[in-house]
Amino acid sequence: MRVLLVDDESELVSALAERLSFRGIEADWSSKCYDALTQMERKKYDLAVLDMKMPKMNGIELKKKMQEKFPDMKFIFMTGHGSEDNYRAGSAEAGADYFLVKPVDIDTLVEKMNEVLHK
């Protein structure tokens, strides 16, 4: 499994990537949306884990741009603002697979990643 993590909190996203690598998951990360799009051009990812609120582009906008080039890619959203229910309602049209509320539990993240990729 190859995963791209995108969150403007670089300490959080780098720590998540490291913890996923300890579990045998190849995880790259970016703290900037446009850099993440560039990374996707260089490497194929199975799944992207996106923060909902980031500067210049939110997670839903980033997902749409990613899907233009990679329509089979799967997505999980993270949020530190509000509840999971708030974001389910606001982004149903984006086709989000799962939402996780920060701080993200690594075991829950791995479980959801496996669910998304195997459904």
Q: Which CATH number fits domain 2-117: 3.10.180.10, 3.30.420.10, 2.60.120.680, 3.40.50.2300?
A: 3.40.50.2300
pLDDT band for position 83 (50/70/90)?
low
Kindly report, residue by residue over 2-31, the tens digit of the pLDDT: 999 999 999 999 999 999 999 999 999 999
Q: What is the pLDDT of residue 45?
A: 96
- DSSP-derived 3-state class of residue 78: strand
Report the C-alpha gap between 61 and 5 in whole angstroms: 15
Beta strands in 1-119 (DSSP E): 2-6, 26-30, 47-51, 74-79, 98-101
Give me the residue spans of the domains in the chain: 2-117
Backbone φ and ψ for 86, nearest 5 degrees, come out as -60, -45
Kindly report, residue by residue over 86-118, the tens digit of the pLDDT: 555 545 545 656 778 888 899 999 999 999 888
Q: What is the mean pLDDT of residues 51-57?
A: 90
Sheet containing strand 2-6, strands side by side:
26-30, 2-6, 47-51, 74-79, 98-101
